[in-house]
Structure 1
Amino acid sequence: MKTFIAQALFQSHSYLEYRKLMADLLKEGKSTAVEQTQERTHYSELNESRMRRLDKTMHITDENSAKLKSLTKRYIWLVLTESWCGDAAQILPILHKMEIESNGEIEMKLVLRDENETLMNHFLTNKSKAIPKLIVIDKETGSVVGDWGPRPQGAIKLIEDYKDEFGRIDETAKANLQLWYLHDKGMGTQNEIIQLLQNLE
């Protein structure tokens, strides 16, 4: 196992620990950001509400649940995230439910992007530090066998099309993205990650 991955795992959080960290920081008017801003705290507040709702309503399809239960290998999911990230708020609850459905074959560990720069720099998306980023580690060998993120393909296309038309990502684009996640109901994320796992099996 690479040293920077081992270091990240050493300081990682379970999903429930991460949710508590978010809530505790918000009580102090803060986000997980190294550089605190009012905007990031505002987004963290929105994301807290989103995640609380998704924790209650998100479910894994019976078909995907069966595939998770039939995994023959054990994995660590190391996920780079931050509390202010809108994509992470939509995706982490899905990953957590998939972790539960796997009957212990998947163990998810969350780390903060800005505190793990070396790790992040090894998993850039188009040279940017886009999150969330899921790094799949074979538990037996400790080797990285795949990665996914920061968004499912449908969401990527929505943002790319918007940028092509308007030349930038603004609040309207962000609102459209959240609506896309709402209508998708987690299916894009579930199905893409299931496909990744099946390719590894």
Structure 2
Amino acid sequence: MEAVITNQLLENAISYEQYLGLLSGLLMEEKTTGENQSEAMLNYARMNDKRMKKWTKIGKLSPETQERLLNITSPLTLLVITEGWCGDAAQNLPFIYKMTQLNPLLEMKVILRDEHPEVIDQFLTDGGRSIPKVIAVNPEDLTILGDWGPRPTVIQNEFLENKKTQERTSDEFAVYLHLWYAQDKGITLQNEFLAKLGLWNKKQQSLPVQAD
């Protein structure tokens, strides 16, 4: 597999704050990120802009999350693949951002899916370019430690089950999905992400020591 996570890619990636600013600026021009500039995508992006700003402002990390994040002792880069129209990204990224803000060893970088097909194509979900995807990278040697996404496992399983049964239409499931996020308040994501961080940290500790 060709290495797609390079130092140049990480250097050109933007911060979460820059991503929020990029989306807000595009919306002022009646645009969104990505190749699809339809009115539907613009409407999704407008809703997501509000969701991200809301959760960034009022979202809370649990005491357990805060305590366990401080146990991360090795630098870790979280490379996020997203787009402004992605509802799951808007619900989850603010909490991941808050986690990185609590421990300076964690760094969150953002790239856009449609600008980097070579990256997302190595992190497909059931053959699709589902986002968001969070790729854990050891910054010292760019080893990929794992990935997460596009949504917490419990609701992803419901999504896949509904895809088979068609019990709800796509629009009905979208309403159900965002109601679930609103009621969950990021707790399921935090618990799942902490488990991932623990695994990634263990992998880091088993990596060969780099010579000076």
Q: Please report the TM-score for the alignment, with normalisation by the length of structure 2.
A: 0.89
Report the Cα distance in structure 2 between the residues aligned to 1:26 and 1:34, rounded to whole angstroms.
15
Long gaps (5+) in structure 2:
202-212
Map of 1:11 onto structure 2: 12
User: Does the C-alpha gap of structure 1 residues 101 and 139 become closer, same or farther in structure 2, counting only changes over 3 Å?
Assistant: same
Report the Cα distance in structure 1 between the residues aligned to 2:172 and 2:63, rounded to whole angstroms.
34
Report the Cα distance in structure 2 between the residues aligned to 1:167 and 1:183, rounded to whole angstroms.
21
Deviations 1:23-67, CA, capped at 9 Å, x for gaps = 000000011012311111000000011111111111111111111
Map of 1:166 onto structure 2: 166
Deviations 1:162-188, CA, capped at 9 Å, x for gaps = 223317751111111001111111111
Amino acid of the structure 2 residue aligned with 1:11: N
Report the Cα distance in structure 1 between the residues aligned to 2:4 and 2:155, rounded to whole angstroms.
33
The residue correspondences of 1:101-140 to structure 2 (distance < 5 A) are 101-102=102-103, 104-140=104-140
Q: Equivalent residue of 1:177, what SS?
A: helix
Report the Cα distance in structure 2 between the residues aligned to 1:129 and 1:147, rounded to whole angstroms.
14
Map of 1:188 onto structure 2: 188
Amino acid of the structure 2 residue aligned with 1:178: H
Q: Equivalent residue of 1:29, what SS?
A: coil
Shift of 1:14: 0.2
Report the Cα distance in structure 1 between the residues aligned to 2:87 and 2:39, rounded to whole angstroms.
15
Amino acid of the structure 2 residue aligned with 1:165: T
Shift of 1:10: 3.0
Amino acid of the structure 1 residue aligned with 2:184: D
Moved more, 188-197 or 6-15: 6-15
Map of 2:88 onto structure 1: 87
Report the Cα distance in structure 2 between the residues aligned to 1:99 and 1:35, rounded to whole angstroms.
30
Bigger radius of gyration among the two? 2
Report the Cα distance in structure 1 between the residues aligned to 2:99 and 2:43, rounded to whole angstroms.
28
Q: Equivalent residue of 1:136, what SS?
A: strand
Q: Please report the TM-score for the alignment, with normalisation by the length of structure 1.
A: 0.94
The percent of aligned pairs where both chains have the same amino acid is 35
Q: Equivalent residue of 2:108, what SS?
A: strand
User: Does the C-alpha gap of structure 1 residues 3 and 199 become closer, same or farther in structure 2, counting only changes over 3 Å?
Assistant: closer
Report the Cα distance in structure 2 between the residues aligned to 1:167 and 1:127, rounded to whole angstroms.
23
Amino acid of the structure 1 residue aligned with 2:164: D
Deviations 1:126-165, CA, capped at 9 Å, x for gaps = 1100000000011222211111000101211221232233
User: Does the C-alpha gap of structure 1 residues 179 and 5 become closer, same or farther in structure 2, counting only changes over 3 Å?
Assistant: farther
Q: Which runs of 4+ in 1 moved over 6 A?
A: none
Report the Cα distance in structure 2 between the residues aligned to 1:96 and 1:136, rounded to whole angstroms.
14
Map of 2:77 onto structure 1: 76
Shift of 1:5: 3.7
Map of 1:175 onto structure 2: 175
Report the Cα distance in structure 2 between the residues aligned to 1:5 and 1:134, rounded to whole angstroms.
15
User: Does the C-alpha gap of structure 1 residues 3 and 152 become closer, same or farther in structure 2, counting only changes over 3 Å?
Assistant: closer
Map of 1:53 onto structure 2: 54
User: What CA RMSD, in Å, does the superposition of the two structures yield over aligned residues?
Assistant: 1.6
